[in-house]
């Protein structure tokens, strides 16, 4: 039912903030070796901020799971333990085989994936790249259970997994760039507020003021943003070489052949 699907979707989306932050921490933590010594304090600053956010997000998610999942699980078990189907009393009435139904879905999802890939224009096209990743996942999940019947589809599944991983990392780079941009503004504001307060003290300490002026978290965050931008550009170059500019033509031809192969399976035995 639509209501149950909406509840499941909302709960799944609630895992996003904590998961995205955890991915950002995992990528940022080893970057210290690529930073100048004066910038490593900035890495510690952003990691501490992200760690606090991740803990809060997972704590909030835990509360939602405790409140919402028991009823959601009962609803899922109730509706997924049975299914309904049409029974044609006329034995001559045509009915689609599993292969025909699956081939139709595969064709539709293939068109969707190809359309989103074709719409990716440059490194900044975050929306279409993310939609292409979702489409690749759907095609892959459709083919994976059929590998015993369609052994030639195994290389296609492997390539789809590679595309999914590539687009996923590209999405992570886009999200992290936004995070580093916002963090740089936040750090600059915090420093300005501190300098303002120190400057208005009854007896401002010149040494402390000079030290605070030199202590800029922003420059280290910008250095991290450059490293992340270089990652984003490398990933897009790989995407362009392997999937854009006509490089995907053979792959989609093989997907079309897989759909045709599904139609060649024999009809199922008639219902008793």
Residue of 112, 181, 185 whose CA lies nearest to 142? 112
Question: What's the rounded Cα separation, in Å, for the pair 2 and 251?
Answer: 35
Backbone angles phi, psi at 144, to 5 degrees: -55, -45
pTM (2 decimals)? 0.82
Question: What's the rounded Cα separation, in Å, for the pair 83 and 103?
Answer: 22
pLDDT score of 194: 76
The one-digit pLDDT tens for each residue of the chain (272 residues) are 899 999 999 999 999 999 999 999 999 999 999 988 888 889 999 999 999 999 999 999 999 999 999 999 999 999 999 988 878 788 777 778 888 999 999 999 999 999 999 999 899 999 999 999 999 999 999 999 999 888 889 999 999 999 999 999 999 999 999 999 999 999 888 888 877 776 666 676 666 656 555 567 888 999 999 999 999 999 999 999 999 877 688 899 999 999 999 887 654 555 55
pLDDT score of 104: 94
CB atoms within 10 A of CB 204: 12
pLDDT score of 202: 65
- Helices 40-80, 2-13: axis angle to 10 degrees equals 160
Question: What's the rounded Cα separation, in Å, for the pair 135 and 148?
Answer: 23
Q: Residue 104: which residues within 8 A CB-CB, separation 6 or more?
A: 96
pLDDT score of 190: 83
Q: What does the pLDDT look like over 212-230, one tens digit per residue?
A: 555 678 889 999 999 999 9
- Residue 245, Ramachandran bin (φ over 0: left; ψ between -120 and 50: alpha; else beta): left
Residue with tokens 């600053």: 45
Q: What does the pLDDT look like over 9-47, one tens digit per residue?
A: 999 999 999 999 999 999 999 999 998 888 888 999 999
Residue of 236, 224, 233 whose CA lies nearest to 44? 224
Q: Residue 222: which residues within 8 A CB-CB, separation 6 or more?
A: 180, 184
Question: What's the rounded Cα separation, in Å, for the pair 249 and 51?
Answer: 43
Burial of residue 258, with CB atoms counted within 10 A of its CB: 0-12 exposed, 13-18 middle, 19 or more buried? buried
Distances (CA, A) of 213 to 37, 66, 195, 199: 18, 47, 8, 11
pLDDT score of 84: 85
pLDDT score of 213: 54
């Amino acid at each position: 039912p639509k209501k149950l699907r909406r509840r499941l979707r909302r709960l799944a989306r609630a895992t996003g903030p904590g998961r995205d932050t955890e991915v950002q921490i995992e990528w940022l933590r080893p970057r210290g070796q690529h930073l100048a010594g004066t910038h490593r304090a900035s890495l510690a600053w952003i990691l501490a901020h992200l760690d606090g956010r991740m803990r809060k997000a997972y704590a909030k998610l835990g509360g939602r799971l405790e409140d919402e999942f028991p009823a959601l699980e009962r609803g899922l078990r109730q509706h997924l333990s049975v299914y309904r189907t049409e029974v044609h009393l006329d034995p001559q009435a045509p009915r689609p085989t599993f292969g025909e139904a699956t081939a139709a879905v595969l064709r539709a999802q293939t068109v969707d994936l190809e359309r989103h890939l074709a719409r990716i224009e440059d490194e900044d096209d975050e929306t279409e790249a993310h939609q292409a990743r979702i489409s690749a996942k759907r095609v892959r999940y459709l083919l994976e259970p059929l590998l015993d019947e369609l052994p030639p589809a195994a290389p296609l599944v492997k390539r789809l997994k590679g595309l999914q991983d590539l687009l996923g990392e590209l999405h992570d780079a886009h999200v992290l760039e936004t995070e580093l941009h916002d963090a740089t503004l936040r750090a600059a504001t915090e420093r300005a507020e501190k300098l303002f307060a120190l400057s208005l003290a009854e007896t401002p300490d010149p040494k402390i003021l000079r030290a605070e002026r030199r202590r800029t978290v922003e420059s280290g965050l910008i250095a991290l943003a450059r490293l992340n931008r270089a990652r984003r550009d490398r990933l897009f170059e790989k995407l362009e070489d392997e999937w854009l500019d006509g490089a995907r033509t053979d792959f989609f031809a093989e997907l079309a052949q897989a759909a045709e192969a599904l139609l060649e399976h024999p009809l199922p035995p008639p219902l008793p």
